[in-house]
Structure 1
Amino acid sequence: MPVHVVWEITLACNLKCGHCGSRAGKRRANELSTLECLDVVRQLAAAGTREITLIGGEAYLRRDWLEIAAEIARLGMHCGLQTGARGLTRERIEAAYAAGVRAIGVSVDGLRDLHDRLRGVPGSHDQAIRAIRDISDVGIEPGVNTQINALSMPQLPLIFDEITAAGAKYWQVQLTVAMGNAVDNSAMLLQPHQIIDVVDNLAELYHRGRDIGFRVLPGNSIGYFGRHEPHWRSLSSEITHWEGCTAGETTLGLEADGTIKSCPSLPKSHYAGGESRSVSIDEALRNLSHRTVRRDGNRGRSFCGSCYYWNTCRGGCTWVSHVLESRRGDNPYCYYRATTLARRGLREKIVKVADAPDEPFAVGRFKVRLERADGSIAPRSIGLDDKRRKRGRLILCPSCDEYMSSAERQCPHCGAAKDTKPAVDETLQRAVQMSIDEMERHGRRILEIAGLPGAETSSPE
C-alpha cells in the first residue's frame, strides 16, 4: 500500500543546486497534463494513500499545482509541499493553504553564504528564512529540510538555532547522496567514517529540540542502531528502531512524466514499475513487489553481509547504497558499522571511479575502501561484523541501551544478562532528591508568607 507518496510534478526549477540528484532546471518534455495528474490522484486515493508530498524541481512553477493539491485534500489525503522557497511569496502560501496544503518543508542547507553557494542563487537563503515565518503566520506547520554534507556538517548547530528562531516546528535531515550534480561535485560528499560525528551531533540537537517542542527527524539515510536509535526513531511512547527500507512497500515515488518508482530518489533504470499513461498504480505496485528489500533476494555484501542487524535493517537506505556501486546491500553510511570499525582502528572512505551521465537521477561509480587510522589500505576480511546475524524481535539491553535479539540471554555488545536491572546512578539520585527537598522548602516558605495552613508540614515522599 503506497501510504506515503512523493510526487515530482515538474522538473522545472528556479535554483541551481550543486547537490541536486535530479539535475532539475528545465521541465520534462512530456510532463503529465492536468487531467492525467488528477486521475493519478484518484488512483492513489483508491490504493490507500494517506499522504502526498509535492516536489519538483519547484512544484509551484507548474500552473495547475494548486488544482492538484486541492484534489489531494478533497479526497482526504494529507497534502504537503517541499520547496527551495525562491519565489514562494506569502500570496502563494495563502493560496496553498486555501487549496488544502497543510505542511510545507523549506530547504535550508547552511547559513547565508553557504546556502546561497550550494543553491546557486544569491539571496535564496533570506527568501527561505522569510518563507518559514510566512508559512507559520498563514497557519501551516513549517518544517525545514537540510542536506548534510562535508560543507554543511560544521554548521548544523547554527542552522538549528536559525530555523528554530524563524519558527520551524520540525527538521528533517538527510545526507547529500552521490547522484546527479552531487557526483559532479563529489568533494562535498561526506566520508562514511564522518557519520559518527554527524549522528552524535544530531542526537545532541534532537534532545535540545525536544525540550522546546521542536522535532529533529532523521531521514532514512541517517542511522542506524547504536545508542541514539531509541530516541529519535520512536515517535510515540513505544520504543522502536529502523526496520528497513520501505521503498515499493509503503512508499512510492512519481516523476513528472508519469514514471512510477519505488522511491522518489531512486533511478528509474532499476526501480520503475511503469508509467501512469500505460499502467495503473496497482499494476505498478505489483511490478515493483519483487524489488523490495524483503523480496529481492539480496543477502548483503561486505560489513552489511555479515551484520548482526541485517535481517531487520537489510542494508539501510536503498538510495544511499545503490548510488555507490549501482546495487544495494552495502551501506557504509551506517552508525553501527562505523562505530564498530572505529573501535578496531578502522574507517571507510569512498573514492569516485566514474562520473555520472548528464541526465536526471544519474549515478556514477564509487569504490568503498577500508583503511587503518593512518590511511593505509586494510583487507576487507578484517572489516566484518564479529556478531552473528539474528532473526526476530529486537529489544533494548537494560545495561548499555543497544539493541539486542530477544532470543539471546546475554547482550552481544556489553555482555550483560538480558534480565540485568539498569544500574542506579547514585550521584544523579542524590541530585534529584536535593532538588525535591529544595522545592519543598520553597513551598513551605510560600505558605508561611501567605499565612496558609500546612507551612510546618512536610510533603509526603
Structure 2
Amino acid sequence: MHPSPFIVFWELTRACMLACKHCRAKAIRKRHPKELTTEECFGVIEQLAEFNPKPLLIITGGDPLMREDIAEIIVYASQKGFRAAIAFSGTERATMGKLEELKDAGIARIAVSIDGSDEERHDSFRGVRGTFRMSMQAIENAKKVGIPFQINTTVTRDNIKDLPNIARLCIELEAIMWDVFFVVPTGRAKAEMMPTPQQFEDVLCWLYDLSRRTGLNIKSSAATHLRRIELMRDRGEMPVVSELYWWLLDRTDDLPEGKASQIVAGGHGRSLSTDGIRRSVGITDGRGMLFISHIGEIYPSGFLPLVAGNLRERSVAEIYSNSEIFVNLRDPDRLKGKCGVCEYRKICGGSRARAYAIFGDYLAEEPCCIYVPKTLRT
C-alpha cells in the first residue's frame, strides 16, 4: 500500500513571528543555524522527483515566508514538475508583492489559518494581536493576485461552538477548501485542548452535512474518522451523535445551499479540487505521507515526533521504503486495540500521532473515536 508518498509536508523553517497555543513546531523568532541550505533544498526536490508519481508538496513551517529563498525553492520545485502549496503565518510578510512573487514562482495554492471568526478569538489563539486582520488581508491579496486559497482551522474544545461562524466565513470568502484540523497534543498543544471523542463524532457528522448541503469543499486533518462517517452516511447509516451535532446544524441551517457535493473525505477516493491538487484513498501518518523537518529529519507526519532518519545521511526514498516505522504504518493490520480489528482500518486507521501522544504507542487505537467495530459488538 502506497509504495510512494502521495503527499510530502516540508517544514522549511521553524522561525515564526507568532506564538500559537497549539504550535507543533514550538516555533521560534529566529531561523535555526542548521536549517537546510538553499542548495540542500534543491537536492531534496531532486530526491522527491525520483518518486513516481511525484508527491504533492506542501511547504510549511514555522512560517516559510521567513526564508528569503522561498521563491527560489518553489521555482525549482515547479521546474521539476511538482504541484506545490504553501501554508504561511498571518503576518505583515504576506504582502501583495510576496503573493505575486509566489504565484510567479509556480505556487498552486496557499493556506491561511483562521481559528476564530473574529479578532478577539483568533488573535487570542495565535498569540499576537492583529493576526486576524493580517490573515484576512492575505486572503484578499490572494484573491486579487489570482491564487486559489484554502482556510485551515484547528479545532479545540474552546472554539467548537465558533465553527459555524468560521464555516460561514469560508463560504462568504469563497475558499476553495476548508481544512479542519483536530488538535493533536504535541509541541505546545496540551491534551486538555482536545475535543472529547463524542465531540469528534458530532463535528465530523456535521461537516458531512455541511459539505453536502452547501457545496463547501471540506477536508479533515488528524481525524480520518470522517472517511468512515462518509461511507456510513452514504449508505443511510447514522453514527451516534449528541446534542452538539444538532446545535451545530441549527447554527448553519440558514447558509445558502450550493451545488450538492460529494465530500472529499477519502472514503471513496473522490476529489472536488479545481486547482489540480487532489487527494487519495487511505492517506494518513506514514501511509502515503511523510514530513521533512527544517534540519532534514524525516517523520511519518509533523505531529508524530519519531525520527525515521535524516536525509543528510540517507535518501528520502530509502527512509520511506525501509525504515521500521514507515513499514509498520503502511500495514493497517499491525494496528492494535479496536483500530486493529475495525472494518474501516484500511481507509481510516485513526491518527497515529494522537495514539502516540496519549498512549506512547503509534500503533495503539485512536483515543478519540467512539465507533465500535462490528467484530467487537455483542
TM-score, scaled to structure 2: 0.80
Q: Quick one: structure 1 residues 62 and 228, their matched pair in 2 at CA, closer, same or farther if it must change by over 3 Å?
A: farther
Higher strand residue share: 1
Q: What CA RMSD, in Å, does the superposition of the two structures yield over aligned residues?
A: 2.6
Q: Say which of 198, 202, 214 aligns to 1:193.
A: 198
Q: Say which of 124, 129, 151 aligns to 2:131.
A: 124
Give the conservation status (yes or no) of the 8 Å contact 1:248–1:289. no
Deviation at 1:5, TM superposition (A): 0.8
Structure 1 unaligned blocks of 5 or more: 341-384, 390-411, 414-461
* Letter in structure 1 aligned against 2:303: S
1:177 to 2:156 alignment = no
1:11 to 2:14 alignment = yes
Report sequence identity in percent: 28
Give the conservation status (yes or no) of the 8 Å contact 1:141–1:169. yes
Q: For residues 217-271 of structure 1, give each alpha carbon's deviation from its aligned partner in whole angstroms, at most 9, with x where no partner exists.
A: 2224242413346742246499xx996454334211100101122223220xx3x
Q: Say which of 358, 363, 366 aligns to 1:324.
A: 358
Partner of 1:36: 40
Give the conservation status (yes or no) of the 8 Å contact 2:333–2:340. no
Q: For residues 7-51 of structure 1, give each alpha carbon's deviation from its aligned partner in whole angstroms, at most 9, with x where no partner exists.
A: 000000011000112111243231011111111111111223232
Partner of 1:108: 114
Give the conservation status (yes or no) of the 8 Å contact 1:104–1:143. yes
Deviation at 1:171, TM superposition (A): 0.6
* Letter in structure 2 aligned against 1:207: R
Q: Quick one: structure 1 residues 98 and 243, their matched pair in 2 at CA, closer, same or farther if it must change by over 3 Å?
A: closer
Give the conservation status (yes or no) of the 8 Å contact 2:224–2:348. no
d(CA) in 1 for partners of 2:280, 2:65: 33
Aligned residues: 331
Partner of 1:433: none
Partner of 1:99: 105
Q: Say which of 244, 247, 251 aligns to 2:285.
A: 247
Once the two structures are superposed, the pairs formed by residues 23-422 of structure 1 within 5 Å of their partners are: 23-26=26-29, 27-48=31-52, 49-87=54-92, 88-112=94-118, 113-183=120-190, 186-210=191-215, 214-224=216-226, 225-226=228-229, 227-228=232-233, 231-232=262-263, 233=265, 234=268, 236=270, 244-267=282-305, 270=306, 272-288=307-323, 291=326, 292-295=328-331, 298-301=334-337, 303-310=338-345, 312-313=346-347, 315-328=349-362, 329-334=364-369, 338=370, 340=372, 385=373, 387-388=374-375
Give the conservation status (yes or no) of the 8 Å contact 2:270–2:280. no
Which deviates more from structure 2 when the two are superposed, residues 128-137 or residues 287-296? Answer: 287-296
Structure 2 unaligned blocks of 5 or more: 236-261, 273-278
Give the conservation status (yes or no) of the 8 Å contact 1:83–1:105. yes
Deviation at 1:216, TM superposition (A): 1.3
Give the conservation status (yes or no) of the 8 Å contact 1:6–1:52. yes
Partner-residue secondary structure (3-state), 2:28? coil
Partner of 2:250: none
